[in-house]
Amino acid sequence: MGNNPFAKDAPHNPFQAPRSRVADPTPSHSGVLLKTPKSNAAGHGWSWLSEGWGLFKEAPGTWIGIIVVMFVLALIINLIPLVNLLSTPLFTVVTGGLMLGCRSLEQGQELTFGHLFEGFKNHAGKLLAVGFLYLLASVVIGIAVFVVVLGGSGALDLFTGSPPETLNPLGLILATLVMLALLIPAMMAIWFASPLIVFHDLGALQAMGLSFRGCLRNLMPFLIYGIAGLVLTILAILPVGLGWLILAPVLIGSIYKGYQDIFVA
């Protein structure tokens, strides 16, 4: 047993300074990607959020600083015509880097501002592909829905910014709701794509397909997750939106924890 003072057969040394028995931290997951995503109980949806809060508490100042930088960069990008189309693909890359930041915190290491750009180093192409595929799906779904619901001329006026001659508000609301419903599968496909790429080097389509399957097998947890997330979003908006400085890191951490819970042994 060597000189381990906690070993059963170790002799007692009366001159040794007292030591607290603290076990070395052990990861709760092996990191091995499962062939089939796990199906979890509904309560896991809330667990992902609570564990995301735990990751936030590990480095609250750094997390808030990262979110501020993300907001400023997003504001600049969205003010530039055409470049603003890159906001979704770039966010996918940034999410990949922050997944690595979550793992660093879990392993007892530091979260740094460098994690914000970590996704650009090794997996940028795949992460950008995921973002562009989601953007393409959003555009196609949006155009198709508004053309069907509003008609060709009404949809054209809406997308070109011209005031429609006869705009039915109920039709516009219906089109928006249908579009959001059809976007759910696309959101399921990208939800866990970033961690699946950065941790397991999957291709863009492979990661999106596996993410979709994982979400599909966990509809009840995601229902709880969605309801709780909606309530937290309302609370985050109330203090002039400042609550997002906390909620955004919690949501990022919840994606990481959800990925572990569903895809990793």
Q: Tell me whether residue 81 is in a domain.
A: no
Q: Tell me whether residue 58 is in a domain.
A: yes
Tokens of 250: 């919690």
Tell me the average confidence (pLDDT) per consecutive run of 10 residues in the chain, 265 residues long. 43 43 48 93 97 97 97 92 90 96 96 95 95 94 79 56 60 82 95 97 97 97 97 95 96 98 95
Q: What pLDDT, on a 0 to 100 scale, did the predictor assign at position 143?
A: 86
Tokens of 9: 């057969």
Q: Tell me whether residue 176 is in a domain.
A: yes
pTM, full prediction: 0.82
- Tokens 């808030």 belong to 64
Provide the domain count of the chain. 1
Cα distances from 193 to residues 70, 144, 179, 247, in angstroms, run 20, 25, 22, 21
User: Which of 62, 152, 51 shows the shortest CA–CA distance to 98?
Assistant: 62
Q: What domain range is 220 assigned to?
A: 44-73+88-106+117-263
Q: Tell me whether residue 235 is in a domain.
A: yes
Q: What pLDDT, on a 0 to 100 scale, did the predictor assign at position 30?
A: 63
Q: What pLDDT, on a 0 to 100 scale, did the predictor assign at position 99?
A: 98
CA dist., res. 79 & res. 81, Å (int): 6
Q: Tell me whether residue 3 is in a domain.
A: no
- CA torsion angle for 170, 173, 179, 183 (degrees, to 10)? -150
Tokens of 223: 């229902």
Question: What b/e sequence results for 120-152 when a residue is b if at least 16 CB atoms lie within 10 Å of its CB, and e otherwise?
Answer: beebbebbbbbbbbbbebbeebbeebbbebbee
Q: Tell me whether residue 10 is in a domain.
A: no
Q: Tell me whether residue 23 is in a domain.
A: no
Percent of the chain as helix, strand, coil, to the nearest 5: 70, 0, 30
Q: Tell me whether residue 79 is in a domain.
A: no
